[in-house]
Amino acid sequence: DVLDMECPHDAQLFDTDSNSTQAILRKLAHFQRWYQPIHGYVCVLICVFGIFTNFVHVAVLSRPNMRNSAVNCILTAVAVCDIGTMASYLIYIIHFVLRRNNSW
């Protein structure tokens, strides 16, 4: 049941007896059942796109005339860190989500 997500000693965040709350929770549960099978594939697409665009950012922001600005140097560092984050998440998604579901 959707409403079995309560923790007995926690403060009440919303009124679970309300019809509107129950309707929202049912819709969220329905969305979760719909989205879960495609989540891994959506993540792979987003990560590949993000890695590619961050490489473009690094290529543009690290040009000699762009390196003169401290802001551009910081943005380049952010893009490099973002590439690392997305690459590690891409490895995780492929190994633990897609391979588990598809038994490659």
Domains of the chain, by residue range, sit at: 19-67, 68-103
Is residue 76's pLDDT more than 80?
yes
* 79, amino acid identity: A
pLDDT, tens digit (0-9, with 9 covering 90-100), for 35-59:
998 998 999 999 999 999 999 999 9
pLDDT attached to residue 6: 65
Mean pLDDT within 76-80:
97
